[in-house]
Amino acid sequence: MRGISSVIRSTQRIKKLDKKPNIILFLTDDQGFWSLGCYGNSEIRSPNIDRLAEEGVLFRNFFCASPVCSPARASILTGRIPSQHGVHDWIRVGNGDSTTDTTSIEYLQGLKGYTEILAENGYVCAQSGKWHLGATSQVQKGYSHWFTTCGGSGTYIDADAYRGSERIHTTGYLTDVICDDALSFIDERCDSDDGRPFYLNMAFTAPHSPHVDQHKQEYVDYYYKNATFRDVRQDPCSAWSLKHPVDIQYSETFANPERKYLKMRDLLSGYYAAVQGIDDAIGRVLAKLEEKGIRDNTLLVFMSDNGFACGQHGIWGKGNCTNPLNLFDTCVKVPCIIAWPGHFKEGIISDSLSSAYDFMPTLLEVLGLENPDADKLPGKSFAQMLYTGNLDEKHESINVFDEYGQSRMIRTKEWKYIHRTTENGPDELYDLVHDPDELFNLLEENRFFFYGPDEIKAKVDELHARMDEFYEKYSDPVNDGKDQPVAGRGQLGMMKDVRGQDAFYPWVTVEYKK
């Protein structure tokens, strides 16, 4: 538990706030933590995001709650794990935004998100970009400004979207369209005389696939001609990988039909170009905040919903590009940067273990707002470290947890253990000290002479017990996913309405022809 003194320090800091800050969450889609200059990538161009890192706190061990978009985003918003909120896969049915999916389901109905708490406390809340939590045309969760893309992905060029309940057709590059809407909202709030702070969820679809023939050509050409992609480890094809990964097949769908085939350089160039497009948009927002004179009173967060592998572990994709579904760090570790000039420490790099379900309690503590459901949630605030920059003030968590259907993970600084609750794949144990890239599953092949079988069994028993304790405490029996046939091909309804085989689209082999 935190000591009394730390609680007092936090309370005193909150009382000194003259007014609540504006808040912007830059939320990217399928972005690996390795894909930014400030995280060690020597070739990708991300000067504006790197600037945020210099002005705030960069987390090197920040994890999503599930390695696919909809459950990960639901966990950020509600502070709940998937087995609490019931979203276990990307939402295939219930968006209500296409001729093939006219059903409209509000998947998080009745579960309070932090945006609702903000709205109840005077914030004007705006959604600009990807939603993908059901009922796309329905304004939800305390938002009053509602500009959402359709579904979870699609074309980056002249895409459809919703403004409120009205479906509209946009023109131009989607990352820029999302940015234009966000800038208009900031202008609107700055022109208002009501004195209310704003919260903006600027939710990019980038760098989600499709990755080829969809992004700014000058950026694609630059990386195609100049990049070595030396910062993206290329491993032999994984035995778990689909014969042809789903994200490559999806890129093929949107690629120029005259292409005979897609090369890894095509895919990587598009991925890097998409990230640079995000950085450009963030630069425009930073310039707008400075123009309006509100930069110093705007709390900025940069985060991705889940990670992505671009050849690491021999896969191209995230948690659903393998069978069984995977929980490699490339897919569950995400970039996270938090900056608030004059309030939070600057230029700090934290190695503390933190999770997406820690974000909600952290934000609410900074703002001095109470969450009536706090005792039911697993997250712990790391606000103290943001203020002090003292890396000796360890975050309370000594481990983080992830889940994707029947695959569950516990990760400490030194170990990762993955348990699969049915016989759809092996359990995994990784020694992260000697094997940080998770190349050798010690339960299949003991590559190190440090451990005998008794020591490995003892470590598994210890981690498994911690895992069971966590999920027993926080899982909702109605929404628990441990026995559900989540296949990475989409969720078909709310768990309370459809359980078992009918709740999830079944596994299918993806064919890639080029």
For residues 13 and 143, membership in a common domain is answered with yes
Residue 500 lies in a domain: no
Question: With contact defined as beta carbons under 8 Å apart, do 77 and 113 qualify?
Answer: yes
Look up the domain containing 117 and give its range.
Answer: 4-82+113-398
Residue type present at position 256: N
Give the tens place of pLDDT for each residue, 180-190. Answer: 999 999 999 99
Is residue 323 scored above 80 in pLDDT?
yes
Question: With contact defined as beta carbons under 8 Å apart, do 132 and 29 qualify?
Answer: no
For residues 405 and 436, membership in a common domain is answered with yes
Residue 124 lies in a domain: yes
For residues 323 and 411, membership in a common domain is answered with no
Tell me which residue of 308, 336, 319 sits closest to 32, measured CA to CA.
308
Q: For residues 424 and 136, what is the distance between their CA atoms, to the nearest angstrom?
A: 33
Domain count of the chain? 2
In terms of DSSP bridges, do strands 400-404 and 354-355 run parallel, antiparallel, or are they unpaired? unpaired
- How would you classify residue 193: left for phi > 0, otherwise alpha for psi between -120 and 50, otherwise beta? alpha
pLDDT for the residue numbered 128: 98
Tokens of 114: 């932090």
Question: With contact defined as beta carbons under 8 Å apart, do 104 and 138 qualify?
Answer: yes
Is residue 14 scored above 60 in pLDDT?
no
For residues 209 and 293, membership in a common domain is answered with yes
**The domain boundary residue, chosen from 398, 413, 442:** 398
Question: With contact defined as beta carbons under 8 Å apart, do 313 and 235 qualify?
Answer: yes
CATH assignment of the domain containing 183: 3.40.720.10
CATH assignment of the domain containing 426: 3.30.1120.10
In terms of DSSP bridges, do strands 428-431 and 415-420 run parallel, antiparallel, or are they unpaired? antiparallel
Residue 91 lies in a domain: no
Residue type present at position 257: P
Give the tens place of pLDDT for each residue, 446-503. Answer: 777 788 999 999 999 999 999 999 999 999 999 999 999 999 999 999 998 876 668 9
Give the tens place of pLDDT for each residue, 81-131. Answer: 999 999 999 999 999 998 888 999 999 999 999 999 999 999 999 999 999
pLDDT for the residue numbered 397: 58
For residues 355 and 409, membership in a common domain is answered with no
Of 63-77, 372-386, 389-403, the range with the highest mean pLDDT is 63-77
For residues 130 and 247, membership in a common domain is answered with yes
Per-residue pLDDT averaged across 207-226, rounded? 98
Per-residue pLDDT averaged across 57-80, rounded? 98
Residue 281 lies in a domain: yes
pLDDT for the residue numbered 32: 95
In terms of DSSP bridges, do strands 354-355 and 348-350 run parallel, antiparallel, or are they unpaired? unpaired
- What would the DSSP string read from start to end of 29-51? SS--TTSSGGGT-SSS--HHHHH
Buried b (16+ CB within 10 A) or exposed e, 464-500: eebbeebbeebbbeebbbbebbbbbbbbbbbbeeebe
Residue 373 lies in a domain: yes
Residue type present at position 372: P
Residue 457 lies in a domain: yes
Residue 108 lies in a domain: no
For residues 392 and 405, membership in a common domain is answered with no
For residues 300 and 386, membership in a common domain is answered with yes
Tokens of 157: 């060029």
Tokens of 21: 């800050």
Give the tens place of pLDDT for each residue, 224-248. Answer: 999 999 999 999 988 888 666 789 9
Is residue 392 scored above 90 in pLDDT?
no
For residues 136 and 257, membership in a common domain is answered with yes
Which residues 6+ apart lie within 8 Å of 110 measured at CB? none
For residues 428 and 385, membership in a common domain is answered with no
For residues 343 and 464, membership in a common domain is answered with no
Handedness of CA 293, 279, 200, 19 (dihedral sign): negative
Q: For residues 341 and 334, what is the distance between their CA atoms, to the nearest angstrom?
A: 23
Residue 98 lies in a domain: no
For residues 358 and 417, membership in a common domain is answered with no
